Amino acid sequence: MTETRLERKERTRRAILDAALGLTRESSLVALSLRQVAKEVGIVPTAFYRHFDSIEALGLALVDESFASLRALLRDVRRASEVDRSAAEDLVDQLVDRSVDVLVDHVRRQRDHFAFIARERVAGPTAVRDAIRHELELCERELATDLARLPGTAAWSVDDLRVLAALFVSTMVTTAESMLAAGRAEAERQIIATVRTQLRMVVVGVAHWPSGAAV
């Protein structure tokens, strides 16, 4: 079957995204040139501009792609956590375990995307760093809605729920970065066990936090 022009264009765009992910495994986007990407894909540099205005625009597309898949997985966690809400302790275990399981699965299947986010959020171009920060804030806002269903948070203020969500997201991001750097299976297992304990400690503390009161 003959490939259409649109299909050929999409295939080239996908090749550019994949090439950029591969080339940035060892360095940031700021050190990458469009000529390097074009050479990796096998196209002339001018052909790059048919798909992206700049390396920065390419980076923003990679941010969108990475966080789109992450948000989809977080939505799966929310749906899964709807089961068996009869016991508070069981609910806490479900939310923590399922959240960690989803994160681990995502990191293992999308290592390049997570490595890209981990690297570019501190070393990438300004627009890319800002986009990553914005996406993390969106994740925090979505998670804050979920955390309002935890035992002990019914009377929590919106601000405190956002702080708690930011703590969860920060812990998840740090865990992902640690997994990527672990190298050995045993080290990764220890990281995963540690984050489960950390999140359970946080959730246990939630029930005793005097939200809205002077502390």
H helix runs in 49-125, sequence order: 55-80, 88-109, 111-123
- Give the chain's radius of gyration (CA, Å): 20
- What is residue 27's predicted lDDT score, i.e. its pLDDT? 83
Contacts of 77 (CB under 8 A, 6+ apart): 95, 98, 99, 102
- What is residue 92's predicted lDDT score, i.e. its pLDDT? 64
Architecture of domain 56-206: Orthogonal Bundle (1.10)
- What is residue 39's predicted lDDT score, i.e. its pLDDT? 93
What digits encode the pLDDT tens for the residues 61-105?
A: 999 988 887 777 667 666 655 555 555 556 667 777 877 888 888
What six digits make up the tokens of 167?
A: 């703590």
d(CA 24, CA 134): 21
- What is residue 16's predicted lDDT score, i.e. its pLDDT? 94
- What is residue 86's predicted lDDT score, i.e. its pLDDT? 52
Is the CB of residue 37 less than 8 Å from the CB of residue 14? no
Contacts of 184 (CB under 8 A, 6+ apart): none
Average pLDDT by stretches of 10, the chain with 215 residues? 81 93 88 92 92 93 85 66 54 74 84 87 92 90 78 80 86 87 88 89 77 58
In degrees, to the nearest 5, what angle opens at C-alpha 143 toward C-alphas 140 and 148? 125
- What is residue 214's predicted lDDT score, i.e. its pLDDT? 45
- What is residue 42's predicted lDDT score, i.e. its pLDDT? 93
